[in-house]
Amino acid sequence: MSACIFCRIVAGAIPAEIVYQDEVAMAFEDINAQAPVHILVIPQRHLVSVQDCKVEDQMLLGHLLVTCSKVARLKNLTESGYRIVTNTGVDGGQTVAHLHFHVLGGRHMAWPPG
C-alpha cells in the first residue's frame, strides 16, 4: 500500500467525503477547510505536483481543471465565484506530495494570498 495519503483515499483505505469521482479524477472535502467550501481535486493516478507533469499529461491537467469547474457547479459557487489553487513544493505550501487542486468558495477571497 502506498504511503501517499491521497493514493490511500483513492484506494478506499482511508475514508473521505467524496463529492465527485470519475475514471480519472476524484474530488473530496478537505478536512482542514480554509473556506466554507474547500474541495480537493486529485488525479487518481499518482503525480507529485504540477512540476512533475510532462507533455503527455496535458489532457489530465485539462480534465482536472474541468473537474474543478464541475465541483464548483455542484457546490453552487458559479454565481458568487471561487478560487482554484495548486501548491508546488515546500515554499509553495504543498503539504501532500500528490498533485491536487483546491476549490475554495463560499466567502470573499482576499488578494494577495499567503
Supply the residues annotated as catalytic: 100
| Alpha-carbon torsion, ordered 19, 66, 53, 48, to 10 deg | -20
Q: With beta carbons less than 8 A apart as the criterion, state whether 73 and 105 touch.
A: no
Question: 70 phi and psi, to 5 degrees?
Answer: -60, -45
